[in-house]
A and B are shown apart, each in its own frame.
Chain A
Amino acid sequence: MGLRRQIRVGSQWMYADEAHRALREALRVMDDEHGEHGGHHQSWIRRYVFSTDHKWIGIQYGFTALCFLLLGFCLMILMRLQLGWPGQPFGVMKLLGATRAPGGILLPEAYNQLGAMHGTIMIFLGIVPLAVGAFGNYLVPLQIGAPDMAFPKLNMASYWCYLPGGLIMLASFLAPGGTAQSGWTSYPPLSVIASQGQTWWLIGMVFLITSSLLGSVNFIVTIVQLRAKGLSYMRFPFFVHAQFVTSFLLLLAFPPLEAAAVLQLMDRVAGTSFFLPSGLVVSGQVLTNAGGGNPLLWQHLFWFLAHPEVYVLILPAMGIVAEIIANGTRKPLWGYKSMVFATVFLGFMSFVVWAHHMFLTGMGTTISAFFQTTTMIISIPSVIILSSLFISLWGGSIRFTTPMLFALAFLPMFGIGGLTGLPLGLAAADIHLHDTYYVIGHFHYVVAPGTIFAMFAGIYYWFPKATGRKLNEFWGRVHFWISFVCINGIFFPMFAQGLAGVSRRLYDGGMQYQHAKQIAAQTNPFMSICAIGLLAAQVPFIFNFFYNAIAAAFGHRDEGLGSNPWGATTMEWAATTSPPLAHGNFEVLPVVYRGPYEYSVPGSEVDFIPQHQPTAIEPAPRGGLLPEKAVAMREN
């Protein structure tokens, strides 16, 4: 016999695992009885609309964010139609209404609206809520062995600030003069003199900032205070570290944007001149404002948020990819400690690089040199993390599941995105590349085939946790391969366009300029076709997702899937049922005995040892795995 711990239950001694099983059964019976008789303390509204359960809030966030992602993507499709075939009428454009697209031909000002809202929706309403609100909310308490977030009501309030913020953004399309059209960066003076939609944008932004503030306080307190007994910081799954640093970025970087939004709101509503210089001439008229303001002030305040924001977009993605790679290679992460320290360092450095977005504002060579240096330094921790993930693959017996495919694709895609950023961080090279399609290519490689692929990986990976059903593997692969090919078809030509000097934000994609005409004509239709292909590739995903989500909602679980289908070590898989208990996640709060990635431990009879497993597993009697035991452990 191996080492089985005995505990005292009442007056009786039992083996710990048997006691655990009995307790679980007793709780299940209680739950069932409760459900029949007295389980209706919580009304439908409290349970599904104003829920305080972090899992349900995570699902609310995830569903809403996916809808916004699709919407932002559709706006981009309209833009790509115009860019691929400038001035051609398209039936779908008529959806925008006669004021924006008379006869199906997109107007330039409507193109600007689409551009501004594509960026805003994708970043503030799509990816951040999905990466932090959905994945963070659902997984962090489970991974650290907590019954819920530290402040469940604040968690609910966070979602209910996010949703109105998003709806205000959407409603701004109905504002007189259309929605915001000064880019997602809302640079003044243009944004201050723009039509009413910009005011709605600012108000929506204040809601979103409030939401992320409530969320980030909650995450940090939860991680620091509610982590399970024995879960020291260096036993955190990497995903928790990523969310931890992300929360600090959200907490400290968003308030300056809130200040900036308040100042811009004052400029627009109370007639102040924070961002308006003296003697500004608009449409041939000299503005009567007091003047004396500084448009660069906005840029500084904005980028003080928006550069850390880039790491808010990428860190949770890295966290997801690290979890999936450790699981899919059946190996511990290579260089876990250096990854953690790199993440913390990245968080600190992200506050001192913002002005590399402003090399062309004439801020002086000394300041440029400073920000150029910090920018080069911040690439080091990113490279450490990415290299560690690559090396983690070495010698692993990789399981090419759908989540693993997306996670693997993340690595080179983020690599391209990161490396193409280096020339932009050098002031001299940036003079040529600034505001060209090269920039668009760069950050889309980071965020689209980078972060969004990681989000897909996360959805395929944790879907069984949330629903008890696995997404279909075949359609998952179809989704992956078409997306992978098409997304590169869209973004890779952008580097060539940018190097040829094609500016971003051009209504016709550059056809009006002699130097840009040729390459625009050669590449834009192809890129637009790829964009449509990418849209088509999402159809199997949407069906796959909804088919399984609805089936799960009606109580159809995959029989035989077990609660830990991937054989994972982290507690969200190993210590809970799928889906976890509605109240408190765990029957008994787990105690942690080991690090997060004990895969393929030599001498162990199964290839993974969960974090809350107390004693070392007995060595296999005659070597080799005992498959039925491994399966039994997974079921547990």
Chain B
Amino acid sequence: MDAHASVGHAELEIPYNVHPRPDTGVYNAKLGIWLFLASEVMLFGALFSSLILLRTGADSWPRGYDMLNVPLATFNTFILILSSVTVVMAWSHLRLGNLLKGRIYISVTILCALIFLVNKGFEYSHEFREGRFPKTNNFLAIYFTMTGLHGLHILGGVIVFLYFLGPGAKMWAHDPERYTNRIEVVGLYWHFVDLVWIFLFPILYLM
């Protein structure tokens, strides 16, 4: 409470910040994140379209399974799916009023994300050692661009989760519902990031 009391005066009460508006059924941030995800669909959609256009226009197209590490990427896929489950667990424990378990599951989610990023780092450094760079050919160009952008999204998620694990968790003391909402919203984002990978993995590695 004390941290917020000092700025509490300056902050305006915005309606439906925490509780859903009856006629729309959502609170503000939930609608906001869905809209943001819609724009993300357009961003990755444009990149997937570019990939299709480049591939259909190319005389020959390298296959991902010939040069990329498919087993490691499969492992990464499962890690990300696991992290999607743990973020839901975190949210449901917070809904039940258990901050400790909520935090444990947030930590597991962060751990999964970091494992994913480290594996990605191994993959990248392997490619570079083999002399395969974005400029080598258009397959590698789109591979590095899309997985790089996806990796940045993962990194962004990790930073947000770390914030909610640490300083952001203070909100639990005075507004647990709002804190739970925040985890729900970042969870929606996290599911989207996973979903992008679910598309990236077969298209870049298996097809």
Contact between B50 and A252, CB atoms less than 8 A apart: no
Q: A213-B36, A289-B135 are in contact. List 14 more A-B contacts (CB 8 A).
A: A41-B7, A41-B10, A150-B32, A224-B31, A225-B21, A255-B40, A255-B43, A263-B50, A263-B145, A271-B133, A272-B145, A294-B54, A301-B50, A584-B12
With beta carbons under 8 angstroms apart, the residue of A225, A252, A297, A304 that contacts B28 is A225
**How long is the Cα–Cα vector from A340 to B40 in the complex, in angstroms?**
27
Interface SS of B by simple majority = helix
Contact between B15 and A147, CB atoms less than 8 A apart: yes
A217-B36, A225-B28 known; A147-B14 Cβ under 8 A: yes
With a cutoff of 8 Å between Cβ atoms, the chain A residues found around residue B29 in the complex are: 151
Asked whether any CB of chain B lies closer than 8 Å to the CB of A519, the reply is no
Residue on A with the closest CB to B28?
A150
Contact between A221 and B31, CB atoms less than 8 A apart: yes
With beta carbons under 8 angstroms apart, the residue of A41, A147, A216, A224 that contacts B12 is A147
A225-B21, A252-B39, A262-B149 known; A152-B138 Cβ under 8 A: no
**How long is the Cα–Cα vector from A213 to B32 in the complex, in angstroms?**
11
With a cutoff of 8 Å between Cβ atoms, the chain B residues found around residue A589 in the complex are: 15
A225-B21, A262-B145, A290-B136 known; A274-B14 Cβ under 8 A: no
With a cutoff of 8 Å between Cβ atoms, the chain A residues found around residue B128 in the complex are: none
Measured as residues with beta carbon below 8 angstroms from the partner, the interface class of chain A is: 35 or more
With a cutoff of 8 Å between Cβ atoms, the chain B residues found around residue A251 in the complex are: 35, 38-39
**How long is the Cα–Cα vector from A52 to B142 in the complex, in angstroms?**
39
**How long is the Cα–Cα vector from A47 to B138 in the complex, in angstroms?**
50
Contact between A226 and B15, CB atoms less than 8 A apart: yes
Using an 8 Å CB-CB cutoff, how does the interface string of B38-54 with A read, 1 for contact, 0 for none? Answer: 11101111110010011
Distance of B88 from chain A, by nearest CB (Å): 24
Distance of A456 from chain B, by nearest CB (Å): 31
With a cutoff of 8 Å between Cβ atoms, the chain B residues found around residue A104 in the complex are: none
Contact between A260 and B46, CB atoms less than 8 A apart: yes
**How long is the Cα–Cα vector from A218 to B40 in the complex, in angstroms?**
15
Using an 8 Å CB-CB cutoff, how does the interface string of B136-155 with A read, 1 for contact, 0 for none? Answer: 11100110110001000000
Asked whether any CB of chain B lies closer than 8 Å to the CB of A273, the reply is yes
Asked whether any CB of chain A lies closer than 8 Å to the CB of B176, the reply is no
With beta carbons under 8 angstroms apart, the residue of A225, A290, A292 that contacts B31 is A225
Asked whether any CB of chain B lies closer than 8 Å to the CB of A46, the reply is yes
With beta carbons under 8 angstroms apart, the residue of A150, A217, A224, A293 that contacts B138 is A293
Asked whether any CB of chain B lies closer than 8 Å to the CB of A177, the reply is no
Using an 8 Å CB-CB cutoff, how does the interface string of A265-296 with B read, 1 for contact, 0 for none? Answer: 01000111110000000000000011011100
Asked whether any CB of chain B lies closer than 8 Å to the CB of A89, the reply is no
With beta carbons under 8 angstroms apart, the residue of A150, A253, A271, A273 that contacts B14 is A150
Distance of B10 from chain A, by nearest CB (Å): 5
- 8 smallest A-B Cβ distances: which pairs? A271-B135, A256-B46, A259-B46, A255-B43, A272-B141, A255-B42, A150-B28, A270-B134
**How long is the Cα–Cα vector from A290 to B62 in the complex, in angstroms?**
13
Asked whether any CB of chain B lies closer than 8 Å to the CB of A254, the reply is yes
For window 29-87 of chain A, which residues contact chain B by CB distance below 8 Å? 41-42, 46, 52
Asked whether any CB of chain B lies closer than 8 Å to the CB of A309, the reply is no
**How long is the Cα–Cα vector from A488 to B141 in the complex, in angstroms?**
48
Asked whether any CB of chain B lies closer than 8 Å to the CB of A605, the reply is no
With a cutoff of 8 Å between Cβ atoms, the chain A residues found around residue B136 in the complex are: 290
With a cutoff of 8 Å between Cβ atoms, the chain B residues found around residue A304 in the complex are: 46
Residue on B with the closest CB to A276?
B138
**How long is the Cα–Cα vector from A292 to B7 in the complex, in angstroms?**
56
Give 16 CB contacts A-B under 8 Å.
Answer: A41-B10, A147-B13, A148-B14, A151-B29, A217-B35, A226-B14, A252-B38, A255-B43, A256-B42, A259-B44, A259-B50, A260-B46, A263-B47, A272-B145, A290-B136, A301-B50
Asked whether any CB of chain A lies closer than 8 Å to the CB of B173, the reply is no
Residue on B with the closest CB to A148?
B12
With a cutoff of 8 Å between Cβ atoms, the chain A residues found around residue B9 in the complex are: 41
Contact between A220 and B35, CB atoms less than 8 A apart: yes
Contact between B134 and A271, CB atoms less than 8 A apart: yes
Distance of A188 from chain B, by nearest CB (Å): 13
With a cutoff of 8 Å between Cβ atoms, the chain A residues found around residue B31 in the complex are: 220-221, 224-225
Contact between B46 and A152, CB atoms less than 8 A apart: no
**How long is the Cα–Cα vector from A217 to B38 in the complex, in angstroms?**
10
Contact between A272 and B53, CB atoms less than 8 A apart: no
For window 30-89 of chain B, which residues contact chain A by CB distance below 8 Å? 31-32, 35-36, 38-40, 42-47, 50, 53-54, 57-59
A147-B15, A224-B24, A226-B16 known; A272-B50 Cβ under 8 A: no
Residue on B with the closest CB to A589?
B15
**How long is the Cα–Cα vector from A422 to B28 in the complex, in angstroms?**
41
With a cutoff of 8 Å between Cβ atoms, the chain B residues found around residue A147 in the complex are: 12-15
Residue on B with the closest CB to A291?
B138
**How long is the Cα–Cα vector from A220 to B31 in the complex, in angstroms?**
9
Contact between B53 and A294, CB atoms less than 8 A apart: yes
